[in-house]
Amino acid sequence: MSKIKVIPCSGIGKVFGLMSRESALKITNELKPNETEIVCLGHIVTGDADAKEKIEGYSCITIDGCPKLCAAKNVAIAGGIVKAQYRTVDEMRNHKGLDAGTGTALTEDGWKIVDELCEKVCLKADEILKEAE
Ligand code: SF4
């Protein structure tokens, strides 16, 4: 079975983008390395043939920073099947008042929010894989 592609947005300079990248890396490197793989949004946007081949027709989960949904939109344009899309800004809303960090470093609370999001994404990945069985 092919791995589910996880694509974070490429938001730089704000904590939301960092949270989306850290979440995607944690899921694909640590939590579900056999079931998921990360694909670089930059390569998808620039039309890189390898990146397009990786996602075209495959199940994808996108993790964006904000409502602009750069990852979800561009993955769909490149032919990826966006099975689920997340936004770190929504996760922050569930934790009003917490300081998650900056565009370059997360605080302990920031990591907790990332961990929670990772858990949700992993459950979703299991669901998608089960559907495909
Ligand atoms: S989704 Fe939002 S934070 Fe992410 S790259 Fe796009 S504009 Fe930036």
11 lines ligand 1 (CB under 6 A): yes
d(CA 15, ligand 1 centre) in Å = 11
In the structure encoding, which two tokens stand for residue 46, read together? 């620039």
More confident residue, 43 or 1: 43
Cα-based angle 63, 126, 82 (whole degrees, multiple of 5): 40
pLDDT (average), residues 47-70: 96
Is the shortest distance between the CB of 17 and ligand 1 below 6 Å? yes
Contact 52, 81 (CB under 8 A): no
At residue 107, the pLDDT reads: 98
pLDDT at 78 over 90: yes
Q: Domain span at residue 8?
A: 4-132
Residues 104-119: b if buried by 16+ CB within 10 A, e if exposed: eebeeebbebbeebbe
Region 94-115: mean pLDDT is 96
Residue 133 has a pLDDT of 80
Q: What is the pLDDT of residue 8?
A: 98
Single out the residue of 43, 44, 102 nearest to residue 77, CA to CA. 44
For all residues of the chain together, what is the average pLDDT? Answer: 96
Q: Distance, CA 53 to ligand 1 centroid (Å)?
A: 23
The mean pLDDT value for 112-122 works out to 98
Instruction: Please tell me the total count of domains within the chain.
Output: 1
Name the residue of 7, 10, 90 to mutate for ligand 1: max ligand atoms within 8 A of Cβ: 10
pLDDT at residue 38, rounded to an integer: 97
CA dist list (Å): 55 to 14, 18, 41, 105:
26, 22, 11, 29
